[in-house]
Structures are given as C-alpha cells and as structure tokens.
Amino acid sequence: AADLVVQLSTSLKTKPDVVDFGTVFTDHMLTVEWNANDGWQTPLIRPFGDLSLHPACSALHYAVELFEGLKVYRGDDKRLRLFRPLLNMERMSKSAERACLPAFDQSELLGCIKRLIEIDQDWVPHLGPACLYIRPTLIGTEPSLGVKKPNRALLYVIMCQAGSYFNTELSLWADPKYTRAWKGGTGDCKMGGNYGGTLFAQLEAGSYGCQQVLWLYGEDHQITEGGTMNIFLHWINEDGDEELATPPLDGTILPGVTRQSILDLARKWDEFKVLERYLTMGQLCSALKQQRLKEMFGSGTACRVCHIGSIVYEEKNLQLPNQDKHSLSSRIATELTDIQHGRSPSDWTYLV
Ligand SMILES: Cc1ncc(COP(=O)(O)O)c(C=O)c1O
C-alpha cells in the first residue's frame, strides 16, 4: 500500500441521483498485476476504464476468478466506515487458494482499498441507507488455453453506489432439481462460476412469480441459501425452545459476513437458542403447520436482512408469518445499521 502509484482522472463524472445497482462506477479503480516470476507489482490507482485481456485468458475460459462484496457507509458523524472488512479479506484469501490464484497480504490490500475510497469519497452517498459498494476482483490472466494454475493474474477493485436492493419482502421458489453448491465443490468460496450457473434457475423462479431461488440440497431437501443470501429461521424448535437457526458451514454455504454478525449479535443477547444446524423443507412445513415459525429471513451485504414472505414448493404457495416492528429481522437490521452508520460504537467498524 505504501508503494501505491496514483494517476488521477482529469474528467470526473457527474454523480447520478438514482441508479440501478452495479451500473455506474466511481472515477477511479485499483489494479495490481501479478506474475509467477516477479510476484505482485506496484499497485496502481487510475481512472476507471476498460481492461485489455488476452482472448485466451483463463478467467474467460475456465472461470479462474473470484470476487468480494463489501460496503462503505457514511456515518451520522460524516465519517466513512467499512463493516468487518477483514472478514472479506479472509474470505477472499480462501477463495484465491481454492481458485489456484496467488495469495496476497490482506492488510496491504485493505490499505490500498482505503486509499481508493479516500480518493473517490464524494461518491459515498450523503443521505439515507445508500452507500458505496466495493467489488474487489481477482482474475487469472494466463494467456493460454491450458487448463492449469495461472502464471499471471490481475487483482482489481471497482466501486459503485448502492441502495438496499431488496426493499420489500421476498418470495422464493424452491425446487430440488437445481443445486447451487455441493459438498467438495466451491460453494463456500465467492467464485464467479458459482453465480453464472444460477441464472437459469433464477429465470424459472421468475416464471412462478418469485424473486429468488431457495436453494435446496440432498434427498431430504435441506435449506441452504436464498438467491445470494444466507438463510435464518426464527422459530420454536421441535423441543419447544425458541431458536434462531441457520445451516452450518459444511462447504455448501457461503460464510457470509452478515450471517456471522447476526450469529455473534444473537449469541451476545443470549435471549434464545442460536444454532448452526441442518434445516429441511419438511421441518419448515411442520413448523408452519404447527404455527411454530416466527420468521424466516435472508442475510447479506446487499440487503443486510430481508424478510421472506412466501415460498413456492411442491406446487404449494407457502405463506410465512408477516414481518412487523417486533420481528427479529427488524431488530437485527436496526442494530446493524446503527453500527454501520456509527450510531452504536463497535469494534466491527473500520474507519477510512
Ligand atoms: C451465495 C451467497 N450467500 C451469502 C451471501 C452473503 O454474504 P455476505 O453477508 O458476506 O454479503 C452472499 C453475498 O454476496 C452470496 O453471494
């Protein structure tokens, strides 16, 4: 980070008022090249622009690539804060190892990202829950069609404005014929190949009038993730105890930063059981029938916490309990927002 070379843009863009997520990017980007002989090269912050890639490069052919997603928030005190960014750096390192892409120094990368945010800080929205989304990306740039560990790579970071993109309650479509991830696969890493393959099922969910896919796994239809969110059930469990439960990190689940934070908060509150356990559609249907389900919600950086209103499953449209101000998701959303915007002091925030 101390070696950063900065080339400032001479024509700054006008910042739009409202944009679709991920369509308008800030004025600058970070790029760092790597090759097997010389290692990481000097990091560069430069005007946002296209990349030039060899047509045979391994990211384009074999999806040798990974990414991260985190946000920077403008606090009520006007200071800029990242939320637990070291967890993103750690997850990115694990994805890099699994993708056979080079290891990097997590705190040095965070230092480079901090400088990029400082340069484009006017892009962090001043009002409401909107914030700036940061997309670190690492791609294999080996200019060869051989299926092998790349000898060249490019790490880059781009940023765009983001609202909270699921504002209403979610409807999910659950059909075991599609699988997002499997044991021994790469579902616990944030690799592009995990996402492109889900679009087809996402379209089918739309044809049932649903917004996202509820991803099931195995013969017993285990609940794993919803769209690109981790899933939580707040319910009275089979033994009659109040419980907050989410599927365990068994390799099929992305270890979400929001998921971890919800577990940490709920364990600190110590008001009900908090478990990482397998959850099946059968258990969910019984709980619904016996009125033991209090709430089902998804979690992720994009939406923080998102209430789930209904699930289409086995030709039935399951209506889930409504959200109100006493729902656990509302309490968690408030607590997280207060931390992210600096209203509640917390060692989870990293000042830019
Ligand atoms: C598949 C998947 N699950 C869960 C999440 C939530 O992770 P996080 O809370 O770190 O955003 C994401 C986030 O992008 C995701 O892509």
Model pLDDT, residue 73: 94
| Cα–Cα distances in angstroms (integers) from residue 133 to residues 169, 195, 302, 343, in the given order | 22, 18, 9, 20
pTM: predicted TM-score of the whole model, two decimal places:
0.95
Q: Which of 163, 185, 202 is the last residue of a domain?
A: 163
Indicate whether 36 belongs to any domain.
Answer: yes
Model pLDDT, residue 46: 98
Query: Which carries the bigger pLDDT value, residue 227 or residue 163?
Result: 227
The answer to whether the CB of 95 is under 6 A from ligand 1 is no
Confidence band, pLDDT 50/70/90 cuts, at residue 136? very high
Indicate whether 23 belongs to any domain.
Answer: yes
For the chain, the C-alpha Rg in angstroms (whole number) is 21
Pocket-testing residue among 92, 180, 198, 230, ligand 1, by greatest number of atoms within 8 A of Cβ: 230
Using the mean position of ligand 1's atoms as its centre, give its distance from the Cα of residue 230 in Å. Answer: 6
The average pLDDT across 335-342 equals 93
Residue 251 sits in the same domain as residue 269: yes
Mean pLDDT of the residues in the chain: 95
Indicate whether 40 belongs to any domain.
Answer: yes
Indicate whether 159 belongs to any domain.
Answer: yes
Residue nearest to atom 4 of ligand 1 (CA): 229
Among 132-136, 217-221, 316-320, 326-330, the range scoring the smallest mean pLDDT is 326-330
Residue 194 sits in the same domain as residue 144: no
Residue 201 sits in the same domain as residue 96: no
Name the token pair of 331: 């309490």
Indicate whether 252 belongs to any domain.
Answer: yes
The answer to whether the CB of 66 is under 6 A from ligand 1 is no
pLDDT in tens, 68-127: 999 999 998 999 999 999 999 999 999 999 999 999 999 999 999 999 999 999 999 887
Q: Is pLDDT at 198 greater than 70 in this prediction?
A: yes
Q: Which of 140, 163, 186 is the last residue of a domain?
A: 163
Residue 153 sits in the same domain as residue 183: no
How many domains does the chain contain in total?
Answer: 2
pLDDT in tens, 270-281: 999 999 999 999
Residue 257 sits in the same domain as residue 134: no
Residue 195 sits in the same domain as residue 333: yes
pLDDT in tens, 296-329: 999 999 888 999 999 999 999 999 998 887 899 9
Residue 176 sits in the same domain as residue 157: no
Percentage above 90 pLDDT, the chain: 89
Residue 147 sits in the same domain as residue 252: no
Q: Which of 163, 190, 222 is the last residue of a domain?
A: 163
Residue 207 sits in the same domain as residue 281: yes
Q: Is pLDDT at 168 greater than 90 in this prediction?
A: no
CATH of the domain at 96: 3.30.470.10
The answer to whether the CB of 247 is under 6 A from ligand 1 is no
The answer to whether the CB of 230 is under 6 A from ligand 1 is yes
Residue 124 sits in the same domain as residue 185: no
Indicate whether 153 belongs to any domain.
Answer: yes
Confidence band, pLDDT 50/70/90 cuts, at residue 160? very high
Model pLDDT, residue 22: 86
Model pLDDT, residue 247: 98
Confidence band, pLDDT 50/70/90 cuts, at residue 167? low
Indicate whether 286 belongs to any domain.
Answer: yes
Expressed as residue numbers, the domain containing 127 is: 5-163
Q: What is the distance in angstroms between the CA of the first residue and the CA of the last residue of the chain?
A: 14
Residue 155 sits in the same domain as residue 184: no
Using the mean position of ligand 1's atoms as its centre, give its distance from the Cα of residue 134 in Å. Answer: 14
The answer to whether the CB of 225 is under 6 A from ligand 1 is yes
Residue 186 sits in the same domain as residue 316: yes
CATH of the domain at 223: 3.20.10.10
Buried b / exposed e across 154-180, counting CB within 10 Å, b at 16+?
bbbbbbbbbbbebeebbbbbbbbebbb
The answer to whether the CB of 252 is under 6 A from ligand 1 is no
pLDDT in tens, 40-81: 999 999 999 999 999 999 999 999 999 999 999 999 899 999
Q: Is pLDDT at 262 greater than 60 in this prediction?
A: yes
- The three-state (H, E, C) secondary structure of the chain, written as one string: CCCCEECCCCCCCCCCCCCCCCCCECCEEEEEEEECCCEECCCEEEECCCCCCCCCCHHHHHCCEEECCEEEEECCCCCEEEECHHHHHHHHHHHHHHCCCCCCCHHHHHHHHHHHHHHCHHHCCCCCCCEEEEEEEEEECCCCCCCCCCCEEEEEEEEEEECCCCCCCEEEEECCCCCCCCCCCCCCCCECHHHHCCHHHHHHHHHCCCCEEEEEECCCCEEEEECCEEEEEEEECCCCCEEEEECCCCCCCCCCHHHHHHHHHHHHHCCCEEEECCCEHHHHHHHHHCCCEEEEEEEECCCEEEEEEEEEECCEEEECCCCCCCCHHHHHHHHHHHHHCCCCCCCCEEEC
Using the mean position of ligand 1's atoms as its centre, give its distance from the Cα of residue 181 in Å. Answer: 13
Query: Which carries the bigger pLDDT value, residue 71 or residue 131?
Result: 71
